[in-house]
Amino acid sequence: MHDTMKKWVGSIGAALMVSALVVLPVHAKEARRTAAKKPAAASTVKKSSKAVASANSRVRARYVASPRRAGFVRVAVPPRPSFGQIAGLHATQDALDLRSSSALVIDQDTNEVLFSKNDSAVLPIASLTKLMTGLLISESKLATDEMITITQDDVDTEKGSRSRLKVGVSLSRGELLHLALMSSENRAAHALGRTYPGGLPAFVNLMNSKATLLGMKDTRYVEPTGLSSHNQSSAQDLAVLVGVAARDPVLRELSTSPGHQVEVGRRTLQFNNTNRLVSSPQWDIALQKTGYISEAGQCLVMQARVAGRKLVMVFLDSIGKYSRIGDAERVRRWVESLPADASPAKAIAKPRITG
């Protein structure tokens, strides 16, 4: 993809549009009476549209008061299109029929590109951001047993996401790192950046400096969680990050942990891995991270051993809750189906894959 296209895709954001659909009045009798009357006034529809436009992107339906009667109507809010959808990247056809609009698979030992699709497109990366956050915390050698308290500053005001780590809860830096990498805990990741020497601004600057040092020329960070769509990168850059992070034993262990319990006051909270493939006997995963916000779609990066190859996999902007997992499975089956002496670059034209 040309540089102009990359910049265009990466700068999309203002183009996101949200529309509203008024479904039915709550009561059937009122529905019949309403059907016989003229449509709602244009001003009413306009007000409803404004209410929907300000809704959180994860909200799929809400109720608003009817201006005519003491009742409520249900307003359905469709999901926002991702940057990749707006840019038309999903129109790109590929031999494996992936749902991700951008993907890259590399043999880490030989640096051979086995599969690529829009791999230079610059897109929001959601919680894949936490891989850089984790790498910097691990490399900092800060005390992992130092207790850190969740504050109001760690509460998500970007997307309004929830967290079981309430304000006032204290956990060790090591536990926060574990939850950030394994279960993508946003407050944990933010607290790690906030308490870094120099504070959050210093940490974000370090994130960008590290990206530059690694040669990640299309990557930009503005905060440590990935909740902001301004955290952007390309599949090519992320493959570099995965390769570096996979050499860190702490990141390997914590990101692939199936689950972890933490003591919060008198309660014990169970957190699970956001990637179900870590528990699959068909996979040998050394490092992984998932991500999702509406602007980024479903994202996944992994370093895994498949058919004797140490592969780096990047899947960005996949449509559907389980589609990133499906894409990873299709790539695994395709690589496993290749003859030992086959060249993936040639074999990709006719992938031998089922399902």
Q: How far apart are CA 160 and CA 148, in angstroms?
A: 22
> Nearest CA to 319 among 103, 12, 77?
103
Query: From residue 241, how far is each of 97, 109, 179 by CA, in Å?
Result: 26, 15, 20
Give residue 175's pLDDT: 97
Among candidate residues 101, 120, 183, 184, the one labeled active-site is 184
E runs forming strands in 207-278: 232-233, 259-264, 267-272
Q: How far apart are CA 319 and CA 38, in angstroms?
A: 39
**184 assigned to active site:** yes
Burial 232-249 (b: 16+ CB within 10 A, else e): bbbbbbbbbbbbbbbebe
pLDDT, one tens digit for every residue, the chain (355 residues): 445 455 555 555 444 433 333 333 334 444 444 444 444 433 333 333 333 344 333 444 444 444 555 556 666 666 789 999 999 999 999 999 999 999 999 999 999 999 999 999 999 999 999 999 999 999 999 999 999 999 999 999 989 999 999 999 999 999 999 999 999 999 999 999 999 999 999 999 999 999 999 999 999 999 999 999 999 999 999 999 999 999 999 999 999 999 999 888 888 999 999 999 999 999 999 999 999 999 999 999 999 999 999 999 999 999 988 999 999 999 999 999 988 766 555 555 444 333 3
Among candidate residues 130, 234, 294, 318, the one labeled active-site is 130
**127 assigned to active site:** yes
Cβ burial, residue 297 (10 Å; 0-12/13-18/19+): buried
Among candidate residues 100, 101, 127, 229, the one labeled active-site is 127
Q: Give the pairing type, strands 72-76 and 61-65.
A: antiparallel
Answer yes or no: are the C-beta atoms of 301 and 86 closer than 8 Å.
Answer: no
User: Considering the entire predicted model, what is its pTM?
Assistant: 0.78
- Helix runs in 2-115, H state only: 3-10, 28-35, 42-53, 83-87
- Which residue ranges does the chain devote to CATH 3.40.710.10? 83-347
E runs forming strands in 151-247: 170-172, 232-233
Answer yes or no: are the C-beta atoms of 31 and 25 closer than 8 Å.
Answer: yes
Give residue 61's pLDDT: 44
Helix axis angle for 129-140 and 186-194, nearest 10°, is: 40
Q: The CATH number of 83-347 is which of 3.90.1300.10, 3.40.1160.10, 3.40.710.10, 3.40.50.300?
A: 3.40.710.10
